[in-house]
Amino acid sequence: MVVGDSMELLRELALRPADINRVSIECESCEARMELSLSALSRVSSTPDVSNKPQQIPANCPACSDDWQAVRSAVDRFRQVLLDLEQYRVTFRVSALDQKPAVPKDVVGG
């Protein structure tokens, strides 16, 4: 983008629904984080997770037992929307971050 006599470079990622293959959930209470494969969570997937280990989002945070029912339900709905969108020519555009985000402590890496 050109603004006056200066030029601004815009960096962004272009992602298709099939490119979104992992989800990271951070606990609001203790900031512990769990990362899971969306394809391993998926009931119907054309590209199953290589590990073939069925994964579930726990009902409670593994670190502090905070209730995760709402996030569990939201991720399930999001996963289904991604599967539905794969049949269309949809692209998500995400601006690249200029700074490193804070890294919360990991609970489980999937």
Total-model pTM = 0.64
Interval 89-107: pLDDT, tens: 999 998 876 655 555 555 5
Q: For position 28, what pLDDT does the model report?
A: 94
Give Cβ neighbours of residue 23 (< 8 Å, ≥ 6 apart).
Answer: 35, 36, 38, 41, 75, 78
Q: For position 100, what pLDDT does the model report?
A: 54
3-class secondary-structure state, position 33: strand
Q: For position 26, what pLDDT does the model report?
A: 95
- Report the DSSP beta bridge partners of residue 14: 93
Interval 12-67: pLDDT, tens: 888 999 999 899 999 999 999 999 888 887 543 344 445 555 578 889 999 999 99
Residue 27: how many CA atoms within 13 Å on its side-chain side? Answer: 22
Find the Cα–Cα–Cα–Cα dihedral 38, 100, 63, 78, rounded to 10°.
Answer: -30
**Where along the chain do its domains lie?**
9-109
